[in-house]
């Protein structure tokens, strides 16, 4: 209740930031435009100037989520050593970390219900996150660590596997202490095929 970090002119950013925090700490159900306005110290009609309706805010959150996911994946790759399997593993681990830390946000990012309008921006943000994986695939193929093949197809498969593991974890269908093993299995299978699991 001290000074507002956004005295003015930044209402849109303030709403998004607080919304992301609420989403993380209390879930989508508790995310209300009126409460966000209250926390920002403006009237309940004010957010309308920046977001046409609640869904527009959710779309913007999802877009920002993909941007941040892409950045975190990129960081993980860059921080990993030169060993290719370690780079893959670090990427997958970063993905799962994001999924655990921002489960509700990830749900929102993959929620089917998105506006046609924002859908373009959302799709672009998702593509930029996917580009990290794509780069990794091309790098692996160039270095001979991965078989040749359409990088997009191979990358989509890796992307899907990571998202699937994230979903199982977020849903609580797999115990958290099994996650690391599952990620390792996924990367091993991806690189070396079924015999990696034997």
Partner DNA sequence: ACCTGAACACCGTTCAAGT
Binding piece for a copy of itself, criterion CB under 8 A, among 4-12, 38-46, 72-80, 148-156: 148-156
Longest dimension (CA), the chain: 61
Indicate which of a copy of itself, DNA, none lies near residue 194 (CB less than 5 to 8 Å, by partner kind).
a copy of itself
- What are the backbone dihedrals phi and psi of residue 140, each rounded to the nearest 5 degrees, phi first? -65, -35
What's the min distance (Å) between Cβ of 159 and a copy of itself? 7
- Of 93, 126, 132, 136, the one binding a copy of itself by CB under 8 A: 126
What secondary structure letter does DSSP report for 48? G
| Residue 153 interacting with a copy of itself (CB under 8 A) | yes
- b/e burial code for range 141-174 (CB count within 10 A of at least 16 → b): eeeeebeeeebeebbeebbebbbebbbbbbeeee
The footprint of a copy of itself (CB under 8 A) covers: 27, 29, 103-104, 107, 109-114, 119, 123, 126, 146-150, 153-154, 156-157, 159-165, 167-168, 170-174, 178, 181-182, 185-186, 189-195, 197-198
């Amino acid at each position: 209740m001290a000074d507002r970090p956004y005295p003015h002119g930044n209402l849109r950013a303030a709403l998004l930031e607080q919304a992301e925090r609420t989403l993380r700490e209390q879930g989508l159900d508790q995310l209300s435009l009126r409460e966000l306005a209250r926390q920002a110290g403006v009237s309940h009609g004010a957010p309308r100037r920046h977001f046409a309706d609640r869904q527009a805010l959710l779309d913007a959150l999802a877009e920002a989520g993909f941007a941040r996911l892409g950045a975190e994946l990129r960081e993980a790759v860059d921080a990993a050593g030169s060993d290719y399997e370690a780079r893959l593993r670090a990427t997958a681990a970063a993905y799962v970390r994001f999924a655990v830390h921002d489960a509700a946000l990830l749900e929102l990012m993959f929620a089917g219900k998105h506006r046609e309008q924002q859908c373009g921006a959302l799709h672009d943000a998702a593509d930029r996150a996917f580009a990290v994986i794509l780069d990794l695939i091309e790098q692996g193929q160039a270095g001979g660590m991965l078989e040749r093949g359409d990088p997009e197809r191979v990358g989509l498969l890796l992307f899907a596997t990571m998202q699937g593991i994230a979903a199982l974890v977020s849903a609580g269908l797999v115990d958290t202490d099994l996650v690391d093993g599952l990620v390792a299995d996924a990367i091993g299978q991806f690189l070396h095929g079924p015999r990696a699991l034997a």
